[in-house]
Amino acid sequence: MAAFVRSLVLALMVSRFITIMASDDDPYDAICSPIWGYFPDCAEYLGGLSHHLPKKCCHSIRKLNEIAKKTKKGPKVVCFCIEAFMVPQDFHLKPSRIKKLPKKCHTDILFPISETMNCSFDER
pTM of the prediction? 0.72
Q: Residue 30 carries which side chain, given as an amino acid letter?
A: A
- Kindly list the domain boundaries of the chain, sorted by start residue: 2-18+31-105
pLDDT value at 13 more than 50? no
Percent of the chain with pLDDT over 90: 49
Give yes or no for a contact between 48 and 98, defined as CB atoms under 8 angstroms apart. no
Mean pLDDT across the chain:
79
Distance CA 53, CA 42 (A): 7
Distance CA 68, CA 109 (A): 9
Question: In CATH terms, is domain 2-18+31-105 a member of 1.50.10.20?
Answer: no
User: pLDDT tens across 100-113, in order?
Assistant: 999 999 999 999 99
User: pLDDT tens across 82-98, in order?
Assistant: 988 887 777 889 999 99
DSSP states along 58-120: HHHHHHHHHHHHSSTTHHHHHHHHHHHHHGGGT----HHHHHHHHHHHTS---S---SS--TT
Q: Residue 108 carries which side chain, given as an amino acid letter?
A: D
